Structure 1
Amino acid sequence: MDIEIRAALPAEYAELGEITGQAYTGDGLLDLNEDDHYLNVLRDVAGRAGHGEVIVAARDGEVLGGVTFAAPGSPLADIAGPGEAEFRMLAVASAARGKGVGEALVRACVDRARALGVPALVLSTQPAMLGAQRLYGRLGFVRTPELDWSPIPALRLLTYRLEL
């Protein structure tokens, strides 16, 4: 599949927001009764673009997925230590899954972190995101259970780190 990886265009923010929201709700990763606020955060691509770099995967003008890259010091970083980069909200449209889109987006984040000269790239993921966890392991990310955290009491996030 020919995939173009690039910065998201403002005209694509709403579409990427829907893809991101659907990836989390469609996979049962959000309990909408408790997490309506986070669904709004997931859909707010314009807000993220103001504090980080939103990267999309596209083919023939169609947005297939996206990810938010948080450079060192970004207010979007949840677990990054001093000088580390982080990526968040990786999402792929259901029709594009299993075609290398997620991997291309993660590799773009790795390349971006290396270009910045940071020592590591970190991320958080839900325990149910098994496919993503396999991808992270395949790309050399290592579990960092000492950094696992809970944004809300009922949700424990797993963390990973890639030394660069």
Structure 2
Amino acid sequence: MRIRLAEDADLKVVADVTEAAYAEFTRGPDDPYIAHLRDTASRAAEAELWVGVDEDGVILGTVTRCPTGSPWREVSEPGEGEFRMLAVAPEARGRGVGEALTRHVLDLCAAAGEDVVVLSSLAEMSAAHRVYGRLGFRRLPERDWSPNPHVDLMAFIRDGRTS
């Protein structure tokens, strides 16, 4: 698998992959969060939208790194890295795509001097939590939060104590 920044021609496919990966965690086709998940143009312009592609160029997964100053940051503090919307196409699950994308983001954060990396995740996203645990993340309950009354997000952190 090769990891690269998403290009304009990728944005619809990235939106489709992200929506499909999150489908089991949304409240159906009318969930307003779906529009947010599909807003790949804003993520590409206001953050870093990365894709993992196979040898034929098929997009297998995606992740958004939220550098300092990005409006896509949610739980990070100054000097910390953050990423969001890790999504693996359902047909590509179990192939290490999510872990490879997460490792890539961790490398980008380290290169930017961000030795602490944080993220938010739904409690139901246990497969992602296993990846995060393998990569040294631990729970950060003091930063848990709710963007709306029906969504409770858990915070995770990777720092020098968990590397």
Q: CA deviation at 1:72?
A: 1.7
Q: CA deviation at 1:73?
A: 2.1
> In the alignment, does 2:95 pair up with 1:99?
yes
CA distance in 1 between partners of 2:68 and 2:105 (Å): 13
Q: The residue matched to 1:6 in structure 2 has which SS?
A: strand
CA distance in 2 between partners of 1:145 and 1:13 (Å): 33
Identical-residue share of aligned pairs (%): 45
Picking from 106, 112, 134, the partner of 1:110 is 106
Picking from 4, 7, 12, the partner of 1:6 is 4
CA RMSD of aligned residues (A): 1.1
| TM-score, normalised by the number of residues in structure 1 | 0.93
Picking from 27, 50, 57, the partner of 2:52 is 57
What does 1:13-52 correspond to in 2, within 5 Å?
13-25=11-23, 28-32=24-28, 35=31, 37-52=32-47
Moved over 4 A (4+): none
Uncovered stretches (5+) of structure 1, i.e. residues with no partner: none
CA distance in 2 between partners of 1:139 and 1:22 (Å): 24
| TM-score, normalised by the number of residues in structure 2 | 0.94
Conserved in 2, the CA contact under 8 Å of 1:84 and 1:120?
A: yes
Conserved in 2, the CA contact under 8 Å of 1:73 and 1:83?
A: no
Q: The residue matched to 1:146 in structure 2 has which SS?
A: helix
CA distance in 2 between partners of 1:156 and 1:33 (Å): 20
Q: The residue matched to 2:25 in structure 1 has which SS?
A: coil
Conserved in 2, the CA contact under 8 Å of 1:72 and 1:80?
A: no
